[in-house]
Chain A
Amino acid sequence: MADVIKKATRDGYGEGLIELGKKYKDMIVMDADLAGATRTGKFKSAYPEQFIDCGIAEGNMMSIAAGIASTGRLVFASSFAMFAAGRAFEQVRNSIGYPHLPVKIGATHAGISVGEDGATHQCNEDIALMRTIPGMTIINPADAVEAKAAVIAAAEIEGPVYMRFGRFAVPVFNDEATYKFELGKAIKLNDGDDVTIVATGLMVDEAVKAAKKLKEEGINADVFNIHTIKPLDEESIIASAKKTGKVVTVEEHSVIGGLGSAVCDCLAENYPVKVKKIGMNDQFGMSGSAAELLEHYGFSAYNIIKSVKEIIK
């Protein structure tokens, strides 16, 4: 078996920005003193005149980004998810969301896989927060290839976009040569009639692994990569729920307000079936290595398999 290449989705963000810089000569990338960590530092090196460091003032950065966007420029504002969506929520809502300005928010270090920094920096609430803003597009890529493609696509997406990236290096399973990002389209990664697994972000790879194991046991799962959480590909989810009658959602986020909630909202209105949500169960995280924490909180193929078996009983 060939070695699996591992890369963090934040690296896809950095690479996507560099790519965009070649085409959009007047684009601006902003950061709040985290350029190394968010990977905007690469853009800063390549296009120093188009990079603005706002210092440690995320709310200010979001409103400045809104002002820049109002002048017709492509602008990306970057920080950790905790500060982009959390601290600056109200600026994102009122300065960017309400006037529907096309600010592209690059939020890295999302989820529990932040690791050692602990609960203050592990943002498990950002999807929930961003979903409530009318007109906000939310993208949560599954690997670095998808991340890079989504960043490039974001430049042409109408209105504000929230992009969620991880710190932790995860397997790259998409092929950059052939991968094409289609906003709002679920990607089916496995076909089965027994259960639907709806995954997003770093959990997509675990969902695929789980499906492979389940197949060995004669359980066939429909597996979806939901890279676009809003607008959600309701059609694909409803069609699969009609086929399997059971749905498991998996996300590195709170079970409250994230993908699982979005799927439940959709199915409750259109085709109610039993749903099991895998995510952070209404609790704060703690320090530890990313791998340890993912295991501890159940973000694993093993837990997905367990949940599938429970739901199909």
Chain B
Amino acid sequence: MDNSTKKELEIFATKVRMGVIEGTYCAKAGHPGGSLSIADVLAYLYNGEMNIDPENPDSADRDRLVLSKGHAAPALYAALALKGYFSTDELKTLRHKGALLQGHPDMKHIPGVDMSTGSLGQGISAACGMAISGKMAGKDYRVYTILGDGEIQEGQVWEAAMFAGFKKLDNLVAFVDFNNLQIDGKMTDVMSDLPIDEKFKAFNWNVINIDGNNLEEIENAYKQAREFKGKPTCIIGKTIKGKGVSFMEDVCSWHGVAPNEEQYNDAMKELKATLEGLEG
């Protein structure tokens, strides 16, 4: 990854984070922590990896992204708005009555949302459906899904993992947002699902461990996944929940609480400084 590309993606990721703070602040609800932790992987997917056209969000041959951890919708919406699927103004009415942007992704109404998600564990199965349908049709689109490390406690994730491994869905890439925090505390205290990598390996996946907030490592992992044939790939990204807003970083209580006005101002100030530093 050259420096200008890296900077471009870092700027996008920072803007996604600003969108997350804007959205959850305006909504007075939502999930900032787990949204901030996936801003980097979304920046890469939407700018370096996925074959998409915001002018034709329903194109049959497009790559698809299923946000299996649907509660990170604020980050997905911010990325989609930045790509031009809808106006960034929509972020200000996230979760408002009658607004476009529902609390969790709604494929029926929101351009660019490829699957309605929010009930944990179901998104990866839907992604398997898209992937196998593409394979059966001889299409070469790819399917991406993002899971939480708490989410993979759901049994359905492993039903889907078994399916994808057995069916050799090498057009499917799952990213596990391994931030080790869930609502009730540390994932490793609540109900540890470690080792994540060995589990996916046992289900016949190609597994790559990376720093999930490092854009170069993210790019390398997805490139490796694209080259790998015969198995789906699981990228386990070690991330920091709340990444980019220092007072939210690695703090469990920021899972599902919106910032108040003071916190909003502090967070935006920090993110704007980051952005200014990047834009020079």
Q: A residues engaging B (CB < 8 A)?
A: 26, 28, 49-50, 52, 54-55, 57, 59-60, 62-73, 90-91, 94-95, 98-100
- The answer on a CB contact under 8 Å between A94 and B129 is no
Interface residues on B, range: 20 to 34
List residues of chain B with CB within 8 A of the CB of A70.
107, 114-115, 126, 129-130
Across the interface, name the chain B residue whose C-beta is closest to A103: B129
- The answer on a CB contact under 8 Å between A57 and B159 is yes
Which of the residues A26, A64, A99 comes within 8 Å of B129, measured between beta carbons?
A64
Q: Which of A50, A52, A68, A71 has the most CB of B within 10 A?
A: A71
Q: B residues engaging A (CB < 8 A)?
A: 60, 66, 106-108, 114-116, 118-119, 122-123, 125-134, 136-137, 156, 159-160, 162-163
List residues of chain B with CB within 8 A of the CB of A50.
136
List residues of chain A with CB within 8 A of the CB of B115.
66-67, 70, 95, 99
Which of the residues A60, A68, A90, A99 comes within 8 Å of B132, measured between beta carbons?
A68
Which of the residues A54, A72, A95 comes within 8 Å of B122, measured between beta carbons?
A95
Which of the residues B108, B128, B130, B137 comes within 8 Å of A99, measured between beta carbons?
B108
7 contacts between A and B (CB under 8 A): A62-B125, A63-B129, A66-B129, A67-B125, A94-B118, A95-B115, A95-B125
List residues of chain B with CB within 8 A of the CB of A65.
129
- The answer on a CB contact under 8 Å between B107 and A67 is no
- The answer on a CB contact under 8 Å between A94 and B159 is no
List residues of chain A with CB within 8 A of the CB of B122.
59, 63, 66, 91, 94-95
- Given known A59-B156, A63-B122, A65-B129, contact A71–B134 (CB-CB < 8 A): yes
- The answer on a CB contact under 8 Å between B125 and A73 is no
A131 to chain B, nearest CB (A): 20
- The answer on a CB contact under 8 Å between A90 and B119 is yes
- The answer on a CB contact under 8 Å between B133 and A60 is no
List residues of chain A with CB within 8 A of the CB of B133.
28, 67-68, 71, 73
A69 to chain B, nearest CB (A): 8
- Given known A60-B156, A64-B126, contact A26–B119 (CB-CB < 8 A): no
CA distance A95 to B126 in the complex (A): 8
Which of the residues A26, A60, A95 comes within 8 Å of B116, measured between beta carbons?
A95
CA distance A69 to B107 in the complex (A): 13
Across the interface, name the chain B residue whose C-beta is closest to A66: B126
CA distance A50 to B132 in the complex (A): 11
- Given known A71-B134, A72-B60, A95-B122, contact A57–B162 (CB-CB < 8 A): yes
- Given known A64-B132, A70-B129, contact A26–B137 (CB-CB < 8 A): yes
- Given known A26-B137, A28-B136, A71-B130, contact A63–B125 (CB-CB < 8 A): yes
CA distance A55 to B158 in the complex (A): 13
List residues of chain A with CB within 8 A of the CB of B66.
67
List residues of chain B with CB within 8 A of the CB of A71.
60, 129-130, 133-134, 137
List residues of chain B with CB within 8 A of the CB of A68.
129-130, 132-133
List residues of chain B with CB within 8 A of the CB of A59.
122, 125, 156, 159
List residues of chain A with CB within 8 A of the CB of B106.
98-99
Given contacts A67-B128, A98-B108, 20 further A-B pairs with CB under 8 A are: A28-B133, A28-B136, A49-B136, A50-B136, A54-B163, A57-B163, A60-B163, A63-B156, A64-B126, A66-B125, A67-B125, A68-B130, A70-B107, A70-B126, A70-B129, A91-B125, A94-B122, A95-B125, A99-B106, A100-B108
- Given known A28-B133, A67-B115, contact A55–B162 (CB-CB < 8 A): yes
Which of the residues A52, A64, A72, A90 comes within 8 Å of B125, measured between beta carbons?
A64
List residues of chain B with CB within 8 A of the CB of A67.
66, 115, 125-131, 133
CA distance A100 to B116 in the complex (A): 10
B277 to chain A, nearest CB (A): 40
Please name the 6 residue pairs, one residue from A and one from B, whose CB atoms are nearest each other, closest first: A67-B129, A63-B125, A60-B159, A67-B126, A64-B129, A57-B159
Q: Which of B60, B133, B162 has the most CB of A within 10 A?
A: B133
CA distance A28 to B156 in the complex (A): 21
List residues of chain A with CB within 8 A of the CB of B163.
54-55, 57, 60, 64
